Amino acid sequence: MIDEPSRKRTDARRNRDRIIEVAGATFAAQGLDVPMREIARRAGVGPATLYRHFPAKGDLVAATFADQLDHCVATLDAALADPDPWRGFCVFIEKVCAMQADDRGFTAAFLATLPGTLATDFERVRDHHLRRFAELTRRAKQSGHLRADFVPDDIKLLIMANGGIGTESPAASRRLVALLLQSLQAHPTTPPAPLPPPVLPPPRPFP
């Protein structure tokens, strides 16, 4: 027999999961601009329920992108474990940009300053791993492959540029990332490696 408090906990957990699922799909398709009340409506919960789980929108964003952050961290772990730090660096950038090319909310979630308590934890984790990325860049420079004037914060520049491509054409993102990685080499190869094929995103709908 299921007691009342246990049923409530199950309901609450189900609501939370449902909200995160809906927020994930919504942010991926439309970016972070979608209002909280619209997320609540789509998840089929009242605004009070939404705000009980996520007091600030930054908290909802942090919870929604937690899996993606984990995925980025695992990718960074693999890059740091690669005996060739330049290869590790390139694969890391390629994978992060590929995740981003699949999700319109990614850029804002990973670059914005998020208000909220959960959000503060999210940012602390993110910033910790940015310091580990700095270690990867240090090794890639030491190996002689990454140009000396690259700074770790340049990853934000790469992510912003890749974010400009949007999510309609992963192939266009791959071509851009290949160009960017070639430009980051300390001793560029002559002639440069061939690029992925030119595939442009479809024209954007006019607002």
CB of 149 to a second copy, least distance (A): 5
Q: Which is nearer to a second copy, 58 or 88 (CB)?
A: 58
Q: Which residues bind a second copy (CB under 8 A)?
A: 31-33, 57-58, 107-108, 111-115, 147, 149, 151, 153-154, 156-157, 160-166, 172, 175-176, 179-180, 182-192, 194-195, 198, 200-201, 203-207
Closest CA to 178 of 205, 164, 163, 197: 197
CB of 178 to a second copy, least distance (A): 8
Question: Which residues is 146 bridged to in the sheet?
Answer: 185
CB of 69 to a second copy, least distance (A): 17
What is the token pair recorded at 40?
């609540």
What is the token pair recorded at 88?
């590790």
Q: Which is nearer to a second copy, 20 or 172 (CB)?
A: 172
CB of 119 to a second copy, least distance (A): 9
151: left (phi over 0), alpha (psi -120 to 50) or beta: beta
Q: Which is nearer to a second copy, 82 or 168 (CB)?
A: 168
Other C-beta atoms closer than 10 Å to the C-beta of 104 total 21
Annotate 7-39 with DSSP letters as a single string. HHHHHHHHHHHHHHHHHHHHHHHH-TTS-HHHH
